[in-house]
């Protein structure tokens, strides 16, 4: 091993190289695979057809999140037979291949990217994959975590490795102090808005700088979660005391002397001084404001105090025509003030923003207020553990008294695969990660926002910042 | 995976940028447990529009899809690749692609040919001039050609993906050549497993 300064990414990568065949991609060892009902059935079927086994059942864990209804009644009797079959198929596959499953009725069930960290299964320095592009969430712990397709899910089940070409490294530093009311979600929306949906293609991004250091693990997860929206393979944050304190006492984390021993190793998962990145960008935290997306890709962001952009303002004809098309789909007129746009639905949830801190922040805004009569508002905790924690703090009552629906854990309205969907033409303020056409239901119009903006918007019935909601 | 050498067929110009995988195959289709039959769901939200290019009879039976920049961004769903192939596409030509989509394509034998924005614009113009023109994508020589118009461009494909396409190699089989190395890596790895995390009922043990 050389003593050259290394990036966090390089350290994790090097420790997982099984073999580097000449002229071929590196065979990279995968410490953990997370599985869910949507992207796994064809992978298990592939194993069956080839007569292959799961190589390491002790490195796989499964749960159901994408399809599951988020009402108790809905979960008892899943009406959508195709969804019910997919869930039953995961159950059957996990039993057949010997993989632990957090089923619909398990107290550990939840969104796959929420339960990994909260159970302490996600740890620094690991390689983690899942058939879901938001796997980058786990990078907040200094783990190399990335989304894969179903063929790769099968590959990891069979070999516990993946052939990988070496990505490029990209450091995004956010320096300084965030203004009041500006959150981790606004940081990542600002980054995507600045570098674009392909700004980090082929790269593993490390988020660094004093504003990232100051964030909680929940905030760091929100940022790493949306790395893919800038095209990145993965997002990372270096290990520090915040990481270690989050992990202390969690189920999957060693206790006592073993914990101290583990932390000594975890602390090495940082980027060395003078390590070189292929690309760097620095953003000033003090310049950030609450953001909202106005269009149909996550780079189309604007300040809450801004206006809907005008296609004519873009010199590039391609950008102008994309803008035009987005505005048509979104049913918006150029020049309209964002804060004058009414919404029909508010969704607080998803692997981006459904953790306890997100719910606390939203509840603090909603407390003592009423959701506008014209708005349907849902709060969907990311997991049963988040839900229980929130209930023990009385957050469910805050939301219910304000007129929000309080739901069972799952992906819910993030992606239109379960009963929680927008109707055609409905407009949402959503704490999720994608505003693509039809993402939350056919014809639905999605605006991405932070949990506090979502809560304020629910109360005022139009896009709003928390300071507009009197306390 | 079937070996792919040369793709020769008519092309459809999609002329849209930022076609994410939610557009290629909407999530409603992802509930299926099969690998086949996704062609009906391809671009399904757009196909209701009679003016959508795939509904134009002169492009029926095309095997080459020509798209704008950032094709296949977003969700990791391999269903996007299955849908394109089930519909009949054998290759996608565009100025840039989402990483996971590109990976997924290589596993299924959908050929990803990346050309510059300008080259794609030229190709689209050639197709509009005469939609019956044949477009040739050659994995051997890494070239896109419109023979009738004397138009020829090279594209880059990583050497391993090219080899795998040309030979139709199974990725898992290739990796298992290194099974000895995997086993020896495992014997020295300190990475934690999930052993001891659960009680007999499958619940996570609390510490």
C-alpha dihedral, A341 to A225 to B93 to B96, nearest 10°: 90
Radius of gyration of chain B (CA): 21
> Does B103 lie at the interface with A, CB-CB under 8 angstroms?
yes
pLDDT for res B53: 97
First to last CA, chain B: 47
The shortest C-alpha distance from A262 to chain B (Å) reads 10
Other Cβ atoms within 10 Å of B186 Cβ, number: 16
Residue of B nearest to A254 (CA): B207
Pairing of strands B11-13, B6-9: unpaired
Q: Give the sign of the dihedral formed by CA A381, CA A385, CA A388, CA A392.
A: negative
- Residue-wise pLDDT tens digits, B77-128: 999 999 999 999 999 999 999 999 999 999 999 999 999 999 999 999 999 9
- DSSP state letters, A260-328: HHHHHHHTT-SPPTT---SEEEEEEGGG---EEE-SSSTT-EEETTSB---GGG-SSHHHHHHHHHHHH
Question: By CB neighbour count within 10 A (0-12 exposed, 13-18 middle, 19+ buried), where does A216 fall?
Answer: middle
State how far the Cα of B206 lies from the Cα of A456, in Å rounded to an integer: 37
Q: What pTM was estimated for this model as a whole? A: 0.96
Asked whether the predicted pLDDT for residue B145 surpasses 70, the reply is yes
Mean pLDDT of chain B: 95
Which residues of chain A have a pLDDT value below 70? 1-2, 471
Q: Where are the beta strands (DSSP E) in chain B?
A: 6-9, 11-13, 64-66, 91-94, 111-114, 135-138, 143-146, 151-154
> Does B63 lie at the interface with A, CB-CB under 8 angstroms?
no
Question: By CB neighbour count within 10 A (0-12 exposed, 13-18 middle, 19+ buried), where does A375 fall?
Answer: buried
| Residue B207's pLDDT band (cuts 50, 70, 90) | low
pLDDT for res A471: 60
pLDDT for res A209: 98
List Cα–Cα distances, A334 to A192, A294, A323, A430, in angstroms.
21, 10, 10, 21
Nearest to B194 among A61, A151, A202 (CB): A61
Yes or no: say if A338 and A369 are a contact pair by the CB < 8 Å rule: no
First to last CA, chain A: 58
Nearest to B206 among A56, A89, A251 (CB): A251
> Does B49 lie at the interface with A, CB-CB under 8 angstroms?
no
Rounded to 10°, the helix A217-225/A184-195 angle is: 30
pLDDT for res A23: 86
State how far the Cα of B28 lies from the Cα of B21, in Å rounded to an integer: 12
Nearest to A148 among B45, B100, B198 (CB): B100
Tokens representing B45 are 């939200």
pLDDT for res B206: 64
Least confident of A358-367, A434-443, B139-148, B194-203: B194-203
Provide the number of CB pairs (under 8 Å) joining chain A to chain B.
207
pLDDT for res B199: 79
Give B 134-193 residues with CB within 8 A of chain A. 158-160, 171-172, 174-176, 178-179, 181-182, 185-186, 189-193
Tokens representing A170 are 């990209």
Pairing of strands B6-9, B135-138: antiparallel
* Chain B residues touching residue A86 (CB < 8 angstroms): 31-33
Helices (H), A346-409: 356-366, 384-392, 395-402
| Residue B55's pLDDT band (cuts 50, 70, 90) | very high
State how far the Cα of A73 lies from the Cα of B150, in Å rounded to an integer: 64
Other Cβ atoms within 10 Å of B206 Cβ, number: 8
pLDDT for res A80: 96
State how far the Cα of A407 lies from the Cα of A390, in Å rounded to an integer: 12
């Amino acid at each position: 091993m050389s003593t050259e300064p290394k990036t966090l990414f390089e350290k994790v990568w090097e420790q997982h190289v099984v073999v580097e065949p000449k002229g071929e991609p590196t065979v990279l060892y995968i410490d953990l695979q997370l599985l869910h009902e949507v992207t796994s059935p064809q992978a298990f079927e592939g194993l069956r057809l080839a007569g292959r086994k799961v190589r390491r059942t002790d490195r796989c864990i499964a749960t159901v999140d994408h399809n599951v209804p988020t009402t108790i009644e809905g979960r008892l009797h899943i009406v959508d037979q195709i969804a019910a079959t997919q869930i039953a198929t995961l159950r059957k596959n996990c039993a057949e291949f010997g993989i632990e499953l957090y089923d619909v009725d398990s107290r550990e069930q939840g969104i796959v990217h929420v339960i990994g960290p909260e159970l302490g299964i996600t740890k620094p320095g690991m390689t983690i994959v899942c058939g879901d592009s938001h796997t980058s969430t786990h990078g907040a712990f200094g783990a190399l975590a990335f989304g894969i397709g179903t063929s790769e899910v099968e590959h990891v089940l069979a070999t516990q490795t993946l052939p990988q070409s070496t990505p490029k490294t990209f450091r995004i530093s956010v320096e300084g102090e965030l203004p009041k009311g500006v959150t981790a979600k606004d940081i990542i929306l600002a980054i995507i808005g600045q570098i674009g949906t392909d700004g980090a293609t082929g790269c593993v991004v490390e988020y660094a700088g004093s504003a990232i250091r100051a964030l909680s693990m929940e905030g760091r997860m929100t940022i790493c979660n949306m790395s893919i929206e800038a095209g990145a393979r993965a997002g990372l944050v270096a290990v520090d005391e915040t990481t270690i304190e989050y992990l202390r006492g969690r189920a999957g984390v060693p206790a006592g002397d073993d914990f101290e021993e583990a932390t000594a190793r975890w602390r090495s998962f940082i980027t060395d001084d003078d390590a070189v990145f292929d690309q760097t960008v620095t953003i000033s935290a003090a310049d950030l404001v609450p953001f909202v997306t106005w269009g149909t890709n996550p780079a189309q962001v604007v300040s809450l105090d801004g206006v809907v952009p005008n296609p004519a303002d873009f010199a590039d004809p391609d950008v102008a025509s994309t803008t035009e098309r987005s505005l048509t789909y979104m049913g918006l007129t150029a020049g309209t003030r964002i804060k004058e746009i009414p919404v029909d639905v508010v969704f607080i949830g998803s692997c981006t923003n459904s953790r306890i801190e997100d719910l606390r922040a939203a509840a603090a805004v909603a407390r003592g207020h009423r959701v506008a009569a014209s708005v349907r508002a849902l709060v969907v905790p990311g997991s049963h553990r988040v839900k229980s924690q929130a209930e023990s703090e009385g957050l469910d009552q805050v939301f219910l008294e304000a007129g929000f629906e309080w739901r069972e854990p799952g992906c819910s309205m993030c992606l239109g695969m379960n009963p929680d969907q927008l109707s055609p033409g409905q407009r949402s303020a959503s704490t999720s990660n994608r505003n693509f056409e039809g993402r939350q239901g056919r014809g639905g119009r999605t605006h991405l926002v932070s949990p506090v903006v979502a809560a304020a918007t629910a109360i005022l019935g139009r896009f709003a910042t928390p300071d507009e909601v009197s306390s | 995976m079937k070996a792919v050498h040369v793709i020769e067929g008519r092309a459809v110009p999609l002329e849209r940028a930022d076609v994410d995988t939610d557009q290629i195959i909407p999530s409603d289709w992802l509930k299926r447990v099969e690998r086949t039959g996704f062609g009906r769901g391809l671009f399904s939200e757009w196909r209701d529009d009679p003016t959508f290019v795939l509904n134009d009879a002169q492009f029926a039976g095309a095997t080459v899809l020509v798209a704008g920049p950032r094709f296949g961004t977003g969700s990791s769903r391999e269903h996007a690749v299955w849908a394109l192939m089930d519909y009949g596409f054998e290759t996608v030509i565009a100025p840039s692609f989402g990483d996971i989509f590109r990976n997924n394509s290589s596993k299924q034998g959908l050929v990803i040919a990346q050309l510059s924005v300008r080259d794609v614009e030229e190709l689209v113009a050639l197709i509009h001039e005469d939609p019956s023109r044949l477009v040739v994508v050659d994995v051997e020589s890494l070239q896109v050609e419109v023979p009738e118009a004397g138009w020829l461009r090279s594209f880059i494909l990583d050497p391993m993906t090219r080899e795998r396409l040309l030979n139709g190699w199974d990725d898992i089989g290739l990796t298992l050549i290194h099974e000895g190395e995997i086993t020896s890596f495992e014997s020295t790895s300190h990475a934690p497993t999930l052993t001891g995390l659960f009680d007999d009922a499958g619940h996570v043990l609390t510490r």
